[in-house]
């Protein structure tokens, strides 16, 4: 390593927890010039957990793709997804506190919709039973009430931006009472 580069490297500080929008300086060998790349483009650098207790939470690719968002409030939380454009980005949400009172929701923007299903596990029965609900072609909202539509502690929602206007994924979580689908169409 030339002395100039070594001196420069010695002056740099270590970044303990890089963010997905941080950049890495590279040497573009095909062009013979320096360049930069966002860590989010490399993958594997966005595994941190993001916690929220906000009543409204807007998801962005730069801050949340490839990460787990923990929902840590019993108060209703309205999560808004970014527009689906077919990036392949994945988003995971985990309820750390059961939704109570009015419902918490995860909603698409514009005319985007969900394709997926909910597998509900009845925790009130002596033998655990599973019930499934599928999203219809126009469903753009998931609503969780902490009982019949899941949203209790440990509920996991995983979504993938699969195509322009379309999200795919699923929900796994326990529920009680007379089960109901969390999927609905509001557009």
The answer to whether residues 8 and 56 belong to one domain is: no
Q: Could you give the angle at the alpha carbon of 86 between the alpha carbons of 117 and 183, nearest 5°?
A: 25
Per-residue pLDDT of 1-57, as tens digits, reads 444 554 555 666 666 556 656 766 777 777 878 777 766 565 555 458 888 888 899
Same domain, 103 and 128: yes
31 and 68 share one domain: no
pTM of the model: 0.72
Distances in whole angstroms, Cα of residue 156 to Cα of each of 4, 8, 28, 47, 94: 50, 45, 40, 16, 5
φ, ψ at 90 (rounded to 5°): -115, 150
- 32 and 50 part of one domain: no
Q: Which of 91-100, 119-128, 142-151, 174-183 has the lowest mean pLDDT?
A: 119-128
Same domain, 84 and 159: yes
Question: Reduced to 3 states, what is the DSSP secondary structure of residue 28?
Answer: strand
Q: Percentage of residues in the chain with pLDDT exceeding 90?
A: 34
Domains in the chain, number: 2
Over range 93-121, report the average pLDDT: 86
């Amino acid at each position: 390593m030339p002395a100039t580069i070594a001196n420069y490297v010695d002056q740099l500080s270590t970044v303990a927890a890089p963010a997905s929008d941080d950049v890495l300086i590279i040497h573009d060998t095909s062009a013979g010039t320096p360049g930069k790349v966002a860590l989010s483009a490399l993958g594997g650098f966005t595994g941190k957990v993001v916690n929220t207790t906000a009543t409204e939470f807007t998801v962005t690719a730069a801050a949340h793709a490839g990460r787990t968002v923990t929902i840590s409030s019993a108060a209703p939380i309205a999560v808004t997804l970014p527009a689906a454009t077919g990036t392949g980005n994945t988003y995971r949400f985990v309820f750390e506190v059961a939704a109570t009172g009015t419902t918490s929701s995860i909603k698409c923007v514009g005319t985007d919709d969900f394709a997926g299903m909910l597998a509900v596990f009845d925790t009130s029965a002596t033998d655990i039973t599973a019930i499934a609900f599928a999203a219809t072609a126009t469903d753009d909202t998931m609503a969780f009430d902490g009982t019949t539509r899941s949203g209790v502690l440990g509920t996991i929602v995983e979504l993938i931006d699969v195509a322009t206007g379309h999200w795919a994924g699923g929900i796994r979580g326990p529920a009680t009472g007379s089960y109901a689908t969390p999927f609905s169409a509001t557009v």
